[in-house]
Amino acid sequence: MAVANNTYISCALGCVTGSGQEKNNRKTMNIKIKLLCGLFLMLTIFVMSCNSIKEQHISLKILPPTMLEKNGTEIFQFWEFKNDPFLWDTNFVQPTSLKLYEDSLSNILGKDSFEHRILELAFQDTSFKSINAKNGDSINAQLVHSKTLGVIRPINYLEAQLLDYQISSYPLLSHPTEFHGFILFNDSLKLVRVYFAASDQAWPPKPHVILEALENDLKMGWTFVYHLHNHYEPKENDYLGILAPSITDAQYYLFLSEDYSMKQAIITNGFHTVEIQSEDFKKLKSPENN
């Protein structure tokens, strides 16, 4: 019996010891898992903060501009930064004022009507039914929507930044305005320079001081690639701007192309942008040929 009792006790002690080791192992494993989860969370936060810094680095509401001239509410200024690929990306987080504009429009028009209107304005296909029109603005719109000229695409990062900069001061729903954006490239320096002219008025101010600076830039190796401005509509037309140039826009494009070698004209409504090549400017209706 003594042997049996000793054997029983030995087995019991062994089981207890084994059970204790398993508990210790599980405890050690849980600690390791918690440490790994903590490290993963810290890494995720670090990557997100790096991305946030990168985005904020070229936020035009944060990046100080170089002021050329200021007359009351009229501003003439420029920014200069590295020509990074994300400037032209159409997949990005909307800046705050532009996101507020989108959300407000969706609430006012209703989500379905809002989305339908956006798609309708961005429609571009050879099947587009043209109508006989004498109005030059309507003819230009038909040229774009029938795919005769121009390309409509989603708004890109830089265009969104410029529009956001303006509507943060003058919201499109309550105080609509248009701005001038002159976008230049210097390929040897890998830089982009963006001139900006705007005010509190519906139409942008005449950018004489910018054109003077631009003329000097062209002599220094810069290329005038884009002229950007925004379009909007009044309440009765559902606010969203037409993605086509007016006859006065077309006239201005011819002037910029002939005198400053501008390559493309771009117009945005905050959701999509139309690009028109300089060789197509003469096809557009303007006061000279309307």
Q: Which domain holds residue 11?
A: 1-57
pLDDT of residue 134: 82
Mean pLDDT of 123-139: 89
pTM for the model stands at 0.81
Average pLDDT rounded to a whole number, residues 278-290: 94
Judged against a pLDDT cut of 60, whether residue 32 lies above it is answered with no
Q: Given phi > 0 = left and psi -120 to 50 = alpha, else beta, which region is 147? A: left
| CA triple 16-22-26, angle to 5 deg | 145
Q: Are residues 115 and 197 in the same domain?
A: yes
Q: Across residues 56-68, what is the average pLDDT?
A: 89
Position 27 scores a pLDDT of 59
Strand partners, 227: 182, 265
**Is pLDDT of 39 > 80?**
no
pLDDT of residue 113: 97
Do the beta carbons of residue 264 and residue 159 sit within 8 Å? Answer: no
Cβ atoms of 260 and 223 closer than 8 Å:
no
Confidence of residue 38 (pLDDT cuts 50, 70, 90): low
Same domain, 31 and 165: no
Annotate 3-62 with DSSP letters as a single string: HHHHHHHHHHHHHHHHHHHHHHHHHHHHHHHHHHHHHHHHHHHHHHHHHHHHHHHT-TTT
Say yes or no: 35 and 176 in one domain. Answer: no
183-193: pLDDT as tens digits: 999 999 999 99
Q: Are residues 117 and 181 in the same domain?
A: yes
Predicted confidence at residue 52, as pLDDT, reads 41
Same structural domain for residues 30 and 77? no
Report the pLDDT value the prediction gives residue 7, as an integer from 0 to 100. 40
Decide if 288 is inside a domain.
no
